[in-house]
Amino acid sequence: MERARRGDGDAFAALVRANQEIAFRTAYLITRNAADAEDAAQEAFVKAYRALHRFRRGAPLRPWLLRIVANEARNRRRSAGRRDALALRAAAEAPSGDAAPSPEGRAIAADERRRLLSLVEALPEDQRLVVTCRTFLDLSEQETASVLGVRPGTVKSRFSRALDRLREADA
């Protein structure tokens, strides 16, 4: 980080590589469009580099970086374009291994996953984002707060309300 701050391009490239997946996926959850997410993540890294002199020494990088990513993603989301729905990987539809269930069991498990995902997708956007950031991306409360532009306490309460709503719908 210090080397990147001093203008070391290789150090910043390493920082990009280490964070590009979480940056891209965060942007994707907001834009729901892979091309927009890539643009947003790329622009965010460029802006982050140019603002590194303002980054507080010793502060965690990810919340700061993800806030920039989220802002770029929101800017792109405003434009018209196709929006993807989250889907399961094909492999997740048919788990394998020694403990593989029967064909009927696999179908039920896949149905349950799809149903749970559809319940998440049906949440209001503010709740859906907090759930997807906290569970699908495994972001901390602080990181999620940065993405959403709210306080960590708001993340906590919003996440709790979203889980309550999912439990109710899942019952």
Question: Which residue, 30 or 63, has its beta carbon nearer to another protein?
Answer: 63
The separation between CA 29 and the C-alpha centre of its own chain, rounded to angstroms, equals: 5
Q: Does 12 bind another protein (CB under 8 A)?
A: yes
Amino acid at 19: N
Q: Do 33 and 106 contact (CB within 8 A), yes or no?
A: no
Q: Does 89 bind another protein (CB under 8 A)?
A: yes
Q: Which of 17, 24, 62, 29 is nearest to 40 (CA)?
A: 24
Q: Does 38 bind another protein (CB under 8 A)?
A: yes
The dihedral of CA 67, 70, 74, 75: what is its sign?
Answer: positive
Amino acid at 12: F
Q: Select from 6, 88, 108, 122 the one that contacts another protein (CB under 8 A).
A: 88
Residues that bind another protein (CB under 8 A): 9, 12-14, 16-17, 20-21, 23-25, 28, 34, 37-38, 41-42, 45-51, 54-56, 59, 63-64, 67-68, 71, 75, 84, 86-92, 113, 116-117, 120, 131, 135-138, 151, 163, 166-167, 170
